[in-house]
Structure 1
Amino acid sequence: MPWLELEGAVNARDVGGLPTVDGAAIAERILLRADNLQGLTPADIKLLVDDIGLSTVVDLRSTHEVVSEGPGPLRAVEAVRHVHHSVLPEAGEATDVTADMLFARRQEALARYPEDPMCALYLGYLEDRPDSVVGALRSISEAEGAALVHCAAGKDRTGVVVALSLTVAGVHRDAVVADYAATGHRISAILTRLRASPTYAEDLARRPDDEEHRPREATMAAFLAQVDQRYGGVLEYLSAHGFGPAEADTLRARLLG
């Protein structure tokens, strides 16, 4: 797993190298994923912008999170384009680490998939914010250099958008699932960072057990299976929301380099 060892983020990595079903692989330095970027140092920015060629940041946090956290260090870099695509309903003070607010409509959410609350949440992204899901993939496709997708933990919202992107590119499903679950290797460090932020500390205090936050392969496997069952697959879901075959081909070509 090509982790990016940053001083100010702990769940950053390049998905380059993941294998596709037709024997190709995702190109390196094209699609990056990460947790909160608020703590990036000058050395981190040099690595991302000068060495890797970062051109686009796809921010999946809610408007509340963006306002509460304030501008991060990368905002000062004119060469980097920032796009905001919240996959949560824009109401209240939702974040992706809360216990109660994540499932403010808990019964409705669980009705989507009672066997796994996190899978139910992920399906909610598709149902509640197809505009942002499509917008995020479109922003990755349009990036002139590397695109970096992030939220707060780099786990749930980022995990879904990256999984959809990799699926469009034809990555083996097992590899998509494994990439999602890899965040579990750094879950304690991720949560330590978030607990130091007033934006997330109170929410995480309600769920103090780190293991409760650890991503499970079964969750992503179930989510992708449900997308197949409910929508006919990722490509069909995206096409129904305006991201048709031509754009899917462009994204695929972009990710394969």
Structure 2
Amino acid sequence: MSRARIRLVAVAFTAVLAFGTLPASAYAAAGPEAGVSARHHGSHPSEATILQIPLQGAVNVRDIGGMRTYTGGQVRRGLVYRADALSKLTAADLTTVSGLGLGKVVDFRIPMELQYDGPDKLPPGLTATPRPVSDLGLYGTLVGAIASGDPVVQERMLGGGRAETYMRDIYRTFVTSPENRAQFAATLREIADGRQGPILYHCTSGKDRTGWMTYVLLRALAVPEAGAGRDYLASNTYRAAYDAQLRAGLKQSGRMQNPDLLIPLQEVRQDYLDAATARMEAEYGGFYGYLTDGLGLDLRTLAKLQSRMVR
């Protein structure tokens, strides 16, 4: 890419971040790419761009492409996928995943999550790259609360707004932790580079660490904040039935009398995202500062990201 082209993309990128969100009518529906089994979320044109990859062993696997940008472009499909844990994929799932042509899988889970949930099941030739992003000990707290089987202990650990506070604190570390920022930055650089082919990244539920990663990527591609936020909140739709079944199982087994204590941990919420973006404003003065100063992405990388991911 020429220096003139880099400057042009960088100027355009900086400019679009200065504007507010576009109206919903600015989003156009995009059909699924040929050969990919997919489900569209919702029937409204502003929602139809969210494309799910249906699997039996994972419920929150999506192609992040399809969104319209401020610049009139559209995020390309078939290049970046977001997911929940892939440790329970079936043989049929592996065939579907193989059809995505992935060149790299990035796993944001911490070692304790791998210990309990198991490593990814992937098509031959693919091995997940561990890139752990801290959950501030939430997974261990959750395991301990459930294992106690004591409703008083569980209420003390998760009730009274404590679960919600825990989630907001975790989201703030996506901005404040140098280690977490390094993991997100490395993934963005690989997406921009493109030499490894299509990339899938995931955590356990595919909603918080994966949700923030996708929100940042879409915003970096000049997708309006409303569109990136809608993609983030869509995890609630894709995970609702699975999470409700988990709560019902815990109650039936007697391990939790009040499994609704888990709902703030199972859901994504606008105020969780707001906790991260507010810290981003305080630390870096806005999204562009987070990309350049927080994540250390230079203009050449941002231009490559745009060139590869937006058509």
Structure 1 counterpart of 2:45: none
Contact kept, 8 Å, 1:99 with 1:207, in 2: the verdict is no
Structure 2 counterpart of 1:251: 305
Contact kept, 8 Å, 1:29 with 1:146, in 2: the verdict is yes
Contact kept, 8 Å, 1:55 with 1:81, in 2: the verdict is no
Amino acid at match of 1:140: I
Pairing 1:149–2:201 present: yes
Structure 2 counterpart of 1:77: 124
Pairing 1:86–2:129 present: no
Backbone CA RMSD of aligned residues: 3.4
Contact kept, 8 Å, 1:59 with 1:150, in 2: the verdict is yes
Amino acid at match of 1:70: G
Structure 1 counterpart of 2:291: 238
The TM-score normalised by the length of structure 1 is 0.77
Q: Distance in 1 between matches of 2:281 and 2:117?
A: 36
Q: Percent identity?
A: 29
* 5+ long unaligned stretches in structure 1: 197-203
Q: 3-state SS of the aligned residue for 1:177? A: helix
Which of these residues, 37, 41, 58, is aligned with residue 86 of structure 2?
A: 37
Q: 3-state SS of the aligned residue for 2:238? A: helix
Give the length in aligned residue pairs.
Answer: 236
Which of these residues, 98, 120, 129, is aligned with residue 142 of structure 2?
A: 98
Pairing 1:118–2:164 present: no
Structure 2 counterpart of 1:199: none
Which of these residues, 82, 100, 105, is aligned with residue 57 of structure 1?
A: 105
* 5+ long unaligned stretches in structure 2: 1-49, 146-156, 249-254
Measured after TM superposition, the shift of residue 221 of structure 1 is 4.2
Contact kept, 8 Å, 1:83 with 1:139, in 2: the verdict is no
Q: 3-state SS of the aligned residue for 1:17? A: coil
Pairing 1:131–2:131 present: no
Q: 3-state SS of the aligned residue for 1:149? A: strand
Structure 1 counterpart of 2:66: 17
Structure 2 counterpart of 1:168: 220
Contact kept, 8 Å, 1:61 with 1:87, in 2: the verdict is yes
Compared CA separation, residues 23 and 234, structure 1 to 2 (3 A): same
Measured after TM superposition, the shift of residue 38 of structure 1 is 0.6
Q: Distance in 1 between matches of 2:257 and 2:217?
A: 32
Q: Distance in 2 between matches of 1:206 and 1:152?
A: 24
Q: 3-state SS of the aligned residue for 2:216? A: helix
Structure 2 counterpart of 1:216: 269
Contact kept, 8 Å, 2:67 with 2:227, in 1: the verdict is yes
Measured after TM superposition, the shift of residue 149 of structure 1 is 1.5
Compared CA separation, residues 176 and 100, structure 1 to 2 (3 A): farther
Contact kept, 8 Å, 2:76 with 2:310, in 1: the verdict is yes
Measured after TM superposition, the shift of residue 88 of structure 1 is 0.3
Pairing 1:178–2:230 present: yes
Compared CA separation, residues 154 and 190, structure 1 to 2 (3 A): farther
Q: Distance in 2 between matches of 1:99 and 1:243?
A: 36
Compared CA separation, residues 39 and 195, structure 1 to 2 (3 A): farther
Measured after TM superposition, the shift of residue 17 of structure 1 is 0.6
> Residues 12-55 of structure 1, C-alpha deviation per residue, up to 9 Å, x if partnerless?
111111111111111111111111111112222222222x2222
Q: Which range is displaced more, 183-192 or 243-252?
A: 183-192
Amino acid at match of 1:252: Q
Measured after TM superposition, the shift of residue 153 of structure 1 is 0.5
> Residues 97-142 of structure 1, C-alpha deviation per residue, up to 9 Å, x if partnerless?
83889xxxx9xxx9xxxx9653332121222222222122223334
Choose 1 or 2 for highest CA Rg.
2
